Amino acid sequence: MADAGLPLPLIVPLGDAGLLVRFATTLSDAANRRAIAFARLLRRDLPFGVSEIDPNLVSVLLKYDPQMIDFDRLAGEVRLLLGSGTAADEADEATEYAIAVEFGGAVGPDLAEAAAATGLDVDSFVKAHNAGPLRVLTTGFAPGFVYCGFHPEALQVPRRTEVRRSVPAGSVLFAAGQTAITSTTIPTGWHVIGRTAFRNFDADAAPPTQLREGDAVRFEVVR
């Protein structure tokens, strides 16, 4: 899993029953890809004593049972796996999804503001937003909530200064070079630019989420 662009990952405790493999401390495409690949590797070959693997934006959490293994021993196992060079081929497992979005209007109240922040008019912004497929970076924060990235530099916009107390499921959010899709009602400080009928989370389905980290997402204007 050598990656010339990144330093060696840090292996740190997260509480007394968690081990976090951090590929970076800031968000980057390379670190995210490594986290996804390493999580896949771990899932194929779950280390002894580990109950759960959770990939995040630039890290992977391993939850373990301290009755079965201690941190140092698990860290040793993880170090061996990191050095084993058997990275999963992410292209093999990536699925592409088309997500139809109604942009702006009542369901995308921050579209104009987000477009203005990039110096584009609304139509050009939507076009630029939908131009390339994004990758699902991770699922987190709330049920089925996915972070998709990365947009080009020209579309980097910070979060809003105010937090909306509640946005509905299917909200399409934009900030920090990413687009996120909500699957439940949540508060957010991101720009709400539209809404989709796509629901990534269904507690009764198996698995409960459709999108997996590493999948490709193409946003399009709803017909």
Residue 141 CA, distance from chain mean position: 10
Residues 6+ apart with CB under 8 A from 209: 139, 143, 144, 183, 200, 201
Q: Is 183 in the site for another protein (CB under 8 A)?
A: yes
Task: Return the HEC string of 36-97.
Answer: HHHHHHHHHCCCCCEEEEEECCCEEEEEECCCCCCHHHHHHHHHHHHCCCCCCCHHHHCCEE
133 interacts with another protein by CB under 8 A: no
Return the residue of 25, 84, 86, 95 that touches another protein, per CB under 8 A. Answer: 25
Regarding 162 and contact with another protein (CB under 8 A), the answer is: no
What would the two tokens of residue 98 be?
């088309």
Cα–Cα separations (whole angstroms), residue 104 to 107, 113, 162, 172, 192? 6, 10, 19, 10, 8
Distance CA 174, CA 176 (A): 7
Identify residue 97 by its one-letter amino acid code.
Y
| Residue 66 binding another protein, by CB under 8 A | yes
Q: Does 94 bind another protein (CB under 8 A)?
A: no
Q: Which of 41, 42, 56, 151 binds another protein (CB under 8 A)?
A: 56
Q: Which of 2, 4, 7, 15 binds another protein (CB under 8 A)?
A: 15
Q: How far is the CB of 120 from another protein (least distance, A)?
A: 25
CB of 116 to another protein, least distance (A): 23
- Number of residues in contact with another protein under rule CB under 8 A: 45
Asked if 161 is part of the footprint of another protein (rule: CB under 8 A), the reply reads no
Min dist. Cβ of residue 83 to another protein (A): 23
CB 133 within 8 A of CB 216: yes
Check binding of 136 to another protein (CB under 8 A). no
Is there binding between residue 98 and another protein (CB under 8 A)? no
User: Is position 5 an interface residue for another protein (rule: CB under 8 A)?
Assistant: no
Q: Do residues 148 and 134 lie in contact, with contact meaning Cβ atoms separated by under 8 Å?
A: yes
User: Does residue 93 touch another protein according to CB under 8 A?
Assistant: no
Does residue 208 bind another protein (CB under 8 A)? yes
Residue 109 interacting with another protein (CB under 8 A):
no
Residue 177 interacts with another protein (CB under 8 A)? no
Burial of 112 (0-12, 13-18, 19+ CB in 10 A): middle
Applying CB under 8 A, which residues contact another protein?
Answer: 12-18, 20, 22, 24-27, 51-59, 61, 63, 66-67, 70-71, 138-145, 183-185, 201, 203-204, 207-209
